[in-house]
Amino acid sequence: MSTITQVAAILKTTDKELERIGEKILAEERITAEEGLTLFEKGTLSYLGALANHVRERRHGNKTYFNRNFHIEPTNVCVFTCQFCSYSRLYAHRDEGWELSQQQMMDIVKGYDGKPVTEVHIVGGVHPKMNLEFFTELLGKIKTHRPDLHIKGFTAVELDYMFRKAKLTVEEGMKKLHAAGLDSMPGGGAEIFHPDVRNVICADKVDAEGWLKIHEAAHREGMHTNATMLYGHIETYAHRIDHMQRLRDLQDRTGGFNTFIPLKFRNKDNDMSHVTESSIIEDMKLYAVARLYMDNFPHLKAYWPMLGRQNAQLTLSFGVNDLDGTIDDTTKIYSMAGSEEQTPSLTTAQLVSLIKQVGREPVERDTLYNEIKNYKDVDLNAISQDPSLN
Ligand code: V47
Ligand code: SF4
């Protein structure tokens, strides 16, 4: 059955309100905040999944993107006290954490010499001594060593702190980092924008307006950025819609966002351990509504280290068209919060086969979604025996 027939069949069996929203989506009309809320409240998994899959295939066909990247986490020492964070150590307890020197970070970069990675993702805690100067120097060193490596770095939370300490405006700070070699920004630190939730889970870091202002400045500088949403804790459906609405509004103004990345709250070893994690069904519904609501975001990403590999495969039927990357990493932010993925690293062959196993077309991309290689017709045995893909 084609997607269209499938969707049509489902639309017939549901209530009038859902049917009307579904028809709007099929006609490529934007849905309102109220309609988004209705999808969360009344949409069944199969209904939302069929619609989201239709939209995903309308945009991207069967393509599922990934990139070859590695992460650097400069420190887990952090001046902030986000309740959901299992990873940070306060400055007063910095002996329990780690702080990498520029040399140590350059050693990590040099460890990838000759390997076909295209991106380094740099993100960590907010350390009071790792300032704008420290990071502009680091960016310069990375670019001198490997000019073609795309540097995606720093959440709006880290930048807000750095710019304020350096007494620079957001625009001035962003120009400086861009000139030093920063190519784009990841989407972290967004959490839930609504103050009723933000003031409970991460009261002391940059607020919604500050986060959005930094991303807007990056877009005006000609850089692309991502946006996240930490979901599945104390927020309501209305808070999720409010969050997505603010992002959709900014995207209407700038067009600078590449990817929306819902991040599932994990509850191990943090101050929100009493909060039950969301079910897989709720996770899939969230991905589907995100695909339907964020109509001006080209890409929807599932971050497999947090969801687990099989659930990440499942999201590919609920609107997702990107699985981040091979990551090859010592990333601790999720393993410390209870993710199944204790060693978040996949070879290219493993990632390609995960995507192929669910009938999708693996496409290696760079950070800006330029296609590097389509693996549709590549034999899995050939991939696993190719040393450059391990
Ligand atoms: O902002 C922290 C999240 C984010 C927990 O842009 C948690 O490509 C779940 O933003 N349970 C940082 N999540 C990571 C991030 C990211 C990751 C991958 C790709 C990109 C991208 C961005 O991690 C934080 C916070 O929302 N986080 N603790 C937790 N217990
Ligand atoms: Fe610091 Fe980020 Fe953890 Fe918040 S989530 S405490 S800003 S490392």
pLDDT tens for residues 248-271? 999 999 999 999 999 999 999 899
85 CB within 6 A, ligand 1? yes
123 CB within 6 A, ligand 2? no
Instruction: Tell me, rounded to whole angstroms, the distance of Cα 304 from its chain centroid.
Output: 10
Instruction: Tell me, rounded to whole angstroms, the distance of Cα 237 from its chain centroid.
Output: 20
Longest dimension (CA), the chain: 62
Nearest CA to ligand 2 atom 8: 125
CB atoms within 10 A of CB 242: 20
Q: What is the mean pLDDT of residues 359-367?
A: 96
Ligand nearest to the CA of 268: 1
Between 120 and 97, the higher pLDDT residue: 120
297 CB within 6 A, ligand 2? no
Q: Residue 120 forms beta bridges with which residues?
A: 70, 151
Q: What is the mean pLDDT of residues 316-325?
A: 95
Q: What is the mean pLDDT of residues 220-231?
A: 98
**CA 365 vs CA 118, 214, 222, 325: distances in Å:** 9, 26, 20, 9
| 8 A C-beta contact, residue 355 and residue 64 | yes
Return the percentage of the chain with pLDDT > 70, whole number.
Answer: 90
Closest ligand 1 atom, residue 267 Cα:
30
Closest ligand 2 atom, residue 191 Cα:
5
pLDDT surpassing 80 at residue 338: no
Instruction: Tell me, rounded to whole angstroms, the distance of Cα 219 from its chain centroid.
Output: 17
Between 232 and 330, the higher pLDDT residue: 232
Residue identified by tokens 């060593």 is 145
Question: What's residue 305's pLDDT?
Answer: 85
In this prediction the pTM is 0.94
333 CB within 6 A, ligand 2? no
Ligand nearest to the CA of 88: 2
Question: What's residue 1's pLDDT?
Answer: 46
What is the C-alpha separation between 272 and 277, in angstroms, rounded?
10
Per CATH, domain 63-389 is 3.20.20.70: yes
pLDDT surpassing 80 at residue 126: yes
Sheet containing 150-153: order of strands: 69-72, 119-122, 150-153, 184-185, 224-231, 257-264, 299-300
Residue from 333, 335, 336, 345 whose mutation best tests the ligand 1 pocket (most atoms within 8 A of CB): 333
| Ligand 1 centroid, distance to 153 Cα (angstroms) | 13
77 CB within 6 A, ligand 2? no
pLDDT tens, position by position, 27-80: 999 999 999 999 999 999 999 999 999 999 999 999 999 999 999 999 999 999
What is the C-alpha separation between 125 and 122, in angstroms, rounded?
11
The structural domains of the chain, with segments of one domain joined by +, span: 3-60, 63-389
| Ligand 1 centroid, distance to 15 Cα (angstroms) | 36
Q: Residue 66 forms beta bridges with which residues?
A: 364
125 CB within 6 A, ligand 2? yes
Q: Rounded mean pLDDT of the chain?
A: 92
Residue from 83, 84, 126 whose mutation best tests the ligand 2 pocket (most atoms within 8 A of CB): 126
What is the C-alpha separation between 244 and 193, in angstroms, rounded?
9
